[in-house]
Amino acid sequence: MIEILGLVKQYPGAAHPAVDHLTLAVPEGCVCVLIGPSGCGKTTTMRMINRLVEPDAGSIRVGGRDVMRVDPVSLRRSIGYVIQQVGLFPHWTIADNIATVPKLLGWNEGRIAARVDELLELVGMEPATFRARFPRELSGGQKQRVGVARALAADPPVMLMDEPFGALDPISRGRLQDEFLRILRSLRKTIVFVTHDIDEALKVGDRIAILRDGALVQYGAPEAILAHPADAFVESFVGTDRALKRLGLIQAEAALEAAGPVTPSLSIPAQANLRDALARMLERDVDSLAVSGANGAVLGVLTMSGIRRHTRAGNTGDDQ
């Protein structure tokens, strides 16, 4: 869906390129996270995709189209864009803010109104309550929801998200991450997501691109990067607790063992991750948990030794 080849951006007066011969591909329907230290080129790379920043060399193709051969205004209307500051127009209602791109595309009023209500419902905001409000009447989390709704208004296949949850408190941030990932993945959007937070990257990304000094250091699935850091920089960047981070990416059902004649009295849902399961075992001083399905039926058991075996198996696997 998005192909970046040999991308270069050199700002005037800078000693080194902001983006230095970057090459990567983002498959359709994938959430690709760009992450790295401040000044590594992640935001510049993302902004070159919709030509808010013009590249000096290399190419970018979106859906098979060379973005440099597309009118930049038309290109931006076809790509959703969400930023940390949200950028809502303060004197426009929520409905008018969401309708920005559909109006520019010439949609009729009935179609626009229906789309606004559909999107407010999608992001968990009652249309009758919120469509006539103004941004100053919303909380930070509500503004961010509206920002996502606005970016989705014309149903773009590609979304660019530049630290969209960075200004929120930890509780709101975690909740919105979960909700928006569910929404965007159900819509099969291809997403380029910029963050400086490795925990957020591991949570939201299908693929993670770790950048340093404008260059790509490692690109792969979160679990593969945690299991096999490319070098000391990546190992340091993902943190010394990368074994625990890996457990947070693996669902309990992946390490199931057959239940014996005696089922553990404590249980955990199959969708829970191994880090939560381990924490529960340590908290309750037990070596095993029952794993239950959606209907409450016991699917098997999870043991401390099973978690260790699963972790060792992952460490000896390949980096696919």
For residue 106, what are its two tokens? 């010439």
For residue 217, what are its two tokens? 């250091």
Contact by Cβ (8 Å): 46, 79: no
Helix (H) / strand (E) containing 2 = strand 2-9
Q: Could you read off the pLDDT of 30-45 as tens digits, one per residue?
A: 999 999 999 999 999 9
Strand order in the sheet with 215-220: 79-83, 158-162, 190-194, 31-35, 207-212, 215-220
Using a cut of 0.75, tell me whether the model's pTM lies above it: yes
- For every one of its 320 residues, what pLDDT tens digit does the chain have, with 9 covering 90 and above? 899 999 999 999 998 999 999 999 999 999 999 999 999 999 999 999 999 999 999 999 999 999 999 999 999 989 999 887 778 899 999 999 999 999 999 999 999 999 999 999 988 899 999 999 999 999 888 888 898 899 999 989 999 999 888 767 777 778 888 888 788 778 889 999 999 889 889 988 999 999 999 999 999 999 899 989 999 999 999 988 888 888 888 888 888 888 877 778 888 888 888 988 999 999 989 998 999 887 888 888 999 888 887 776 655 444 43
Q: How many Cα atoms within 13 Å fall on the side-chain side of residue 51? A: 18
Pairing relationship of beta strands 2-9 and 57-62 according to DSSP bridges: antiparallel
CA distance 165 to 145: 10
CA distance 174 to 149: 18
Neighbours of 180 (CB within 10 A): 21
CA distance 208 to 218: 8
Contact by Cβ (8 Å): 286, 267: no
**Residues 199, 203, 204, 208, CA torsion sign:** positive
Distance separating the N- and C-terminal Cα atoms of the chain: 20
For residue 306, what are its two tokens? 């099973």
Give the per-residue pLDDT at 315: 56
Contact by Cβ (8 Å): 145, 194: no
For residue 74, what are its two tokens? 């038309």
